[in-house]
Amino acid sequence: MCGSRMFAASSPKSKRCGDCGFELFMNASAATAAFIINESGELLAVRRKNDPARETLDLPGGFVDIGETVEEGVVREVEEETGLKVEQVKYLFSLPNQYEYSGLLIPTADLFFRCDVADTSTVLAMDDAAESLWIPLAEVKATDFGLHSIQKGVARFLTFALQNT
């Protein structure tokens, strides 16, 4: 706040200015991921266009913008990446994560949702998705997904989904 160079770690999640006392906390950013299943029982995956984990599989989703709910964020991200219009959002679970951006590890709280869409036949690859593809649930491999929390989330979702099919 005051421009001092006396800005040092105060706790594992904060830094404090030695001159003016200002303390900055490194809180987690909210990020979303959507599980979308079509009429044939296939999971929608996208191929990442950018790093981190470029060219690996991902779920549609991304960071929540300032001023929007996490539900609004997942709806917006699905539409930006796939063109699909989400009709219903159901929260499933969350996982802590770290997301590498510009050489920094950003702490995130990744929120996973089951999303129903109006028409799965109109899916596109847009924004930071290089490709979109439908994968039969029985053929989905969590290890094909490049981001650690997405791998864990897909594995968790598959355990539940395959038990209930």
Evaluate whether residue 3 is within a structural domain. no
Q: Which residues of the chain have pLDDT under 70?
A: 162-165
pLDDT given for residue 111 in this prediction? 98
Catalogue the E-assigned strands of the chain.
Answer: 7-11, 14-17, 23-25, 29-35, 42-48, 57-58, 61-63, 86-101, 104-117, 129-136
**Active-site residue among 80, 87, 131, 139?**
131
Full domain range(s) for residue 79: 27-163
55 is catalytic: no
In a domain, 65, yes or no: yes
CATH code at position 72: 3.90.79.10
- 93 domain residue, yes or no: yes
Return the half-sphere exposure (C-beta side, CA atoms, 13 A cut-off) of residue 150: 26
The strand pair at 14-17 and 23-25 is best described as: antiparallel
Q: Is 1 contained in some domain?
A: no
Please give the backbone phi and psi of residue 50, each rounded to the nearest 5 degrees, phi first.
-125, 165
pLDDT digit string, tens, across residues 144-162? 999 999 999 999 999 987 6
Domains of the chain: total = 1
22 part of a folded domain? no
pLDDT of residue 1: 79
| Domain membership flag for residue 78 | yes
- The per-residue pLDDT for 164 is 63
Measured from the Cβ of residue 36, the count of other Cβ atoms closer than 10 Å reads 22
Query: For the segment 11-20, what is each residue's pLDDT rounded down to a tens digit?
Result: 988 999 999 9
Q: Is residue 13 part of a domain?
A: no
Do the domain assignments include residue 47? yes
The upper half-sphere exposure of residue 54, i.e. CA atoms within 13 Å in the direction of its Cβ, equals 4
